[in-house]
Amino acid sequence: MKPFTYERADSAKAAAAAIAANPNAKFIAGGTNLLDLMKLQIETPAHLIDVNHLGLDKVEKTRDGGMRIGALVRNTDLAADRTVRRDYAVLSRALVSGASGQLRNKATTAGNLLQRTRCPYFYDTTKPCNKRQPGSGCAAIGGYSRSLAVIGVSDQCIATHPSDMAVAMRVLDATVETVNPDGAKRMIPIADFHRLPGTTPNIETSLQPGEFITGVTLPKPIGGMQIYRKVRDRASYAFATISIATVLQPDGSGRFAFGGVAHKPWRVEAADARASQGAAAVATAAFAGANPTAQNAFKVPLVQRTLAAVFTEAKA
């Protein structure tokens, strides 16, 4: 790791002020992604602002019947929360399918949303990567791309967003709550939070420099049959090859978000609209315009078959 200085912030305001004073600073929450990347010198902050002691570790009901999740709530605690288990089961299921028990004990809600891609070339500092070093090229295009994106890709980057939690939050229409260094607050619908790579794969979210996530809100529960299905190379402790978060209602309507396929959790209105027509119709609509590589083209039929299994599970 490159040398850095360290401070513990004692309020969200202090954290925002600290980042405003130091543009080379980064917030550190669980540290499970940031420190990994700092050890590899992919991230090289000059200053770390520890945000673990801001009291943002509560899960609360909101006035409109929804729920507010503090940015520092650990993945374990969110998955185990009684209300989440009962009313937002797809979120609980997505969380426990990610990482390991040890990692989930540290990983936070905000950190999980902001974790960076697992593209092998992003991790390999001897290879060109537009995300790590803008303008250097993309070693994944034409390289080893089995694990990478099949839709929403650009000729600059075909990376995926690796989070399971974010896919469930997308299907639940979550909103990310932030505060800027100048104190201004924002509510960002999760649909607009993660970006497609386009010509700037280094810019992964709609956050402004220094913008701090204070929490995530969920609308009031929508019931239905909630399922998270993750397909991976090992039965446990592996990132998703593909994943599906769904809420299916008794009247045949439904919502679908897909992980492991794009630079953001992938959800398409036209696919939701076809819920009553079954897996093939939904998958076809969701993956219209897919642009996979030869190595990851298998993901498109895999999504459809997995979705068929999800429909079967929902009827059981």
Partner 1 sequence: MHANDPLDVTRRSLIAGGVATAAVASTPLGAQDAPALAQRAPAATLPVSLKINGKTRKIDVDPRTTLLDALREHLDLTGTKKGCDHGQCGACTVIVEGRRINSCLTLAVMHDGDSVTTIEGLGQPGNLHPMQAAFVTHDGYQCGYCTPGQICSAVATLAEIKDGIPSHVTADLAAGIAPTEDEIRERMSGNICRCAAYSNIVTAIRDVAGERA
Ligand X SMILES: Cc1cc2nc3c(=O)[nH]c(=O)nc-3n(C[C@H](O)[C@H](O)[C@H](O)COP(=O)(O)OP(=O)(O)OC[C@H]3O[C@@H](n4cnc5c(N)ncnc54)[C@H](O)[C@@H]3O)c2cc1C
Least Å from the CB of residue 145 to ligand SF4: 8
Nearer CB in complex with ligand SF4: 84/138: 138
Per-residue interface string for the shown chain with ligand SF4, residues 108-127, x marking contact by CB under 6 A: ---------x-x-xx-----
Return the closest-CA partner of residue 116 out of 187, 201, 10.
201
**Using CA atoms in the order 20, 24, 29, 33, what is the torsion angle rounded to 10 degrees?**
150
Query: In this chain, which of 9, 16, 18, 34 binds ligand X, going by CB under 6 A?
Result: 34
**Residue 79 makes contact with ligand SF4 by CB under 6 A:** no
Least Å from the CB of residue 95 to ligand X: 8
**Residue 177 makes contact with ligand X by CB under 6 A:** no
Query: In this chain, which of 18, 38, 107, 157 binds ligand SF4, going by CB under 6 A?
Result: 157
Per-residue interface string for the shown chain with ligand X, residues 112-141, x marking contact by CB under 6 A: x-xx--------------------------
Question: Strand (E) positions, 118-224?
Answer: 175-179, 185-189, 212-218
Query: In this chain, which of 103, 196, 281, 297 binds ligand X, going by CB under 6 A?
Result: 103
Per-residue interface string for the shown chain with ligand X, residues 277-306, x marking contact by CB under 6 A: ------------------------------
Nearer CB in complex with ligand X: 212/256: 212
- For 223, residues 6+ apart whose C-beta sits below 8 A from its C-beta are 87, 249
Nearest residue to ligand X, by Cβ distance, number only: 111
3-state SS assignment for residue 30: coil
Select the binding partner of residue 114 from ligand X, ligand SF4, partner 1, none (C-beta < 5 to 8 A, by kind): ligand X
- Give the burial string for 146-167 (b: 16+ CB within 10 Å, else e): ebbbbbbbbebbbbbbbbbbbb
Size of the chain, expressed as the number of residues it contains? 316
Residues 178-207 that bind ligand SF4 (CB under 6 A): 201
The whole-angstrom separation of Cα 81 and Cα 243 is 22
**Residue 244 makes contact with ligand X by CB under 6 A:** no
The token pair at 240 is 């998703």
The token pair at 71 is 């940015």
- Give the burial string for 250-286 (b: 16+ CB within 10 Å, else e): eeeebbbbbbbbbbbbbbbeebbebbeeebebbbbbb
The whole-angstrom separation of Cα 156 and Cα 161 is 15
Select the binding partner of residue 163 from ligand SF4, ligand X, partner 1, none (C-beta < 5 to 8 A, by kind): ligand X
**Residue 37 makes contact with ligand SF4 by CB under 6 A:** no
Return the closest-CA partner of residue 222 out of 263, 190, 174, 258.
174
**Residue 239 makes contact with ligand SF4 by CB under 6 A:** no
Query: What residues line the site for ligand SF4 (CB under 6 A)?
Result: 117, 119, 121-122, 129-131, 138-140, 148, 157-159, 201
For binding to ligand X (CB under 6 A), which residues are involved?
26-34, 36, 51, 71, 98-99, 103, 106-108, 110-112, 114-115, 162-165, 212-213, 239
